[in-house]
Amino acid sequence: MLKKIFAILLALVIVFPLFYNISLSLFSPRDFNTSPALFFPSSPAFENFSRAVSHRYFLRYTINSLVTATLAAVIRTLIVTLSAYAFSFLHFRGKKIILFFLLLSAFIPQDSLLYQNYVTVSRMNLTNTYLGIIITSLFSATQLMMLMTAMKSLSKDTFDASRVDGAKDITILFHIIVPLTKSVIITIFLQSFIGVFNAYLWPLLVTNTPDMRTIQIGVSLMGYQESGRMGPLFATLLIILIPFVILVVATRKLIIKALSNGLSY
């Protein structure tokens, strides 16, 4: 009983900001200045959504975020999958040392590398490019460890039988290993996509033109705070949040399966 009550309270704490954002997206300028603060709008201002979508840079910001997040998620998932297979099943010189330093990178705060990464990207002339935005997000040691754990838990009988039949590594990986670990791989893709889409500080550093800004930066550049119209701001936040809610709900079973399997290994 206590577990259920705790779960309900935790769910309310997590869901409350979403519902409040929905309410704020319908506020008129007058509703934001009332005292005490309102939880529901006095009169729903649905025009906030049309103002948000019709902003001159809204579509461009959104496309930039979708392109960078998709590219980074696809490339990172592929790199992590290939790396996990190599470190789990292949034998090569320096394997343990390389794996040690890769996993060690998970304990290095990314913010401490901002200056070095910016200098490197700048010298490579990758500022204001999609590659410059995603280049620091193409690998995750934590996700590598998660997928390696999933791969090593598989039965080796099928793997060995495929080897005997002459199957090559690329065939074994994409026809046997990937289907058996697809829940973990999909979870890695979703984590990567959401993480890159929501990134703020790094895209802010490596872009300086409106045409290359992402939506997370663009929200603060649309001028809603200065004009005093906060409704369109929260409407914008809600619009870019809804797809993620739908995506997580649609894939929740795969995510739960991947996490539960990871905890049981």
Condensed to tens digits (0 to 9), the pLDDT of residues 123-160 reads 999 999 999 999 999 999 999 998 999 888 887 777 77
Q: How far apart are CA 85 and CA 106, in angstroms?
A: 19
Distances (CA, A) of 57 to 11, 180, 201: 35, 42, 19
pLDDT at 224: 67
Domain residue ranges of the chain, discontinuous segments joined by + = 20-55+222-242, 70-218
Q: Average per-residue pLDDT in the chain?
A: 85
Q: Tens digits of per-residue pLDDT, 95-107?
A: 999 999 998 888 8
CB 146 within 8 A of CB 184: yes
Is the pLDDT at 112 greater than 90? The verdict is no
pLDDT tops 90 at residue 21: no
**pLDDT score for 53:** 86
Measure the CA–CA gap between 187 and 76, rounded to whole angstroms: 12
225: three-class secondary structure by DSSP:
helix
Query: What is the model's pTM?
Result: 0.85
Amino acid 238: pLDDT: 87
pLDDT of 33 higher than 90: no
Residue carrying structure tokens 């490596």: 206
- The confidence score (pLDDT) of residue 5 equals 85
Please state, in angstroms and rounded to a whole number, the distance separating the CA atoms of residues 21 and 244.
15
At the fourth CATH level, the homologous superfamily of domain 70-218 is MetI-like (1.10.3720.10)
Distance CA 187, CA 247 (A): 11
Least confident range of 1-5, 12-16, 63-67, 68-72 = 1-5
Structure-model confidence comparison of residues 113 and 258, the more confident one: 113
Is the pLDDT score of 78 beyond 60? yes
